Amino acid sequence: MNCLQNLPRSSVSPLLGGFGGNHRDPSWSSLKMMLPFKANDPKCRLVLEAVSDSAEMSGVSKKEEEKSDEYSQDMTQAMGAVLTYRHELGMNYNFLRPDLIVGSCLQTPEDVDKLRKIGVKTIFCLQQDPDLEYFGVDIKSIQAYAKTFTDIEHIRCEIRDFDAFDLRMRLPAVLSTLYKAVKRNGGVTYVHCTAGMGRAPAVALTYMFWVQGYKLMDAHKILMSKRTCFPKLDAIRNATIDILTGLKKKYVTLTLKDKGFSTVEISGLDIGWGQRIPLTLDKGTGFWSLKRELPEGQFEYKYIIDGEWRHNELEPFTGPNKDGHTNNYAKVVYDPTSVDGTTRERLTKEDPELLEDERSKLIQFLETSSEAEV
């Protein structure tokens, strides 16, 4: 089963080419300057060494170790926390509940056997093709092997790696598919991405929050006590609000006065810091501009002018972050005094708690979403 949501995708290439090669993107030196964290800050040092009881380190090549090092560096820079993944050590996972596991990706068809032995009935994969290609995972052989059994189902629902906005937009469709699979298959569910530190924990948290009756931060506390990871909580909060209030969008236009620039691009906004969108120059007005449709929320961004990262002082901007850098931001807000406005304000708090009728509405959404929507 494949559940690619029918949402418009950016024409810009995925972050770092989706890890399609073992090269470094030159934009990372600038990206480090934009991210609101320091990699050596002990408050955000989250390190996970993947461990597999079946891994044989004697057969690990230098190239495999280098790929893990490269991925860990990229993950640390993109996620805002120091995270380490060792793909060469094999699949690793943690039980959050007796019926819910979060882990790293399956690497061989034999991993299906390992999961069947611990009662897994649904393998829920969130990886995209570039993720699989980077580590050389043959997903087709894993899917084909899983199909030889009647007691386990492999489902793939793609979410872009390291992209909080894509996570927000995909969560409703992905959770609908997961909810239906759990109802259909029962037993234990294995949710995984590549390292099991971003997308998979976020999806599992959302399932606990929407379906299993947990408060968001209670579920988060359980997750962090079991597995070192860094799920994007704001994406979960916003996805929850999008369902309960309706996904409202507005067009936002960014403009920058031309001063003889050759190129002007934007990074951040709804595409993440690892991607860029070019602005268009209107020679008649002398302004570079970009029109973008955004859902409710606040979106930070920065201009890249002839290769140099800058903010525009004529647009709203944040105060300097801990690294001393300033970003512009666009804030999309509908009537804050409306019922939907008060709901959004309540659910964007650090520890939102769903009302009984809100949880019922979420469950109804998960049950009634059609296959065309997921």
Q: Any idea which residues carry the catalytic annotation?
A: 193
In 3D space, the residue among 110, 94, 107 whose CA is nearest the CA of residue 188 turns out to be 94
Cα 308 → chain centroid: 27
Nearest to 97 by CA among 230, 229, 227: 227
Rounded CA separation 34/25 (Å): 15
Taken in order 240, 241, 246, 250, is the CA torsion positive or negative?
A: negative
CA torsion 193-249-217-362 (nearest 10°) is -80
Interatomic CA distance for residues 42 and 16, integer angstroms = 27
CA distance 235 to 270: 12
Joined tokens for residue 361: 């509405």
Do 310 and 268 meet the contact criterion of CB atoms below 8 Å apart? Answer: no
| Pairwise CA distance, residues 101 & 258, whole Å | 52
Residues in the chain: 374
Q: Which of 117, 116, 182 is nearest to 149 (CA)?
A: 116
Residue 242 parent element (H or E)? helix 233-245
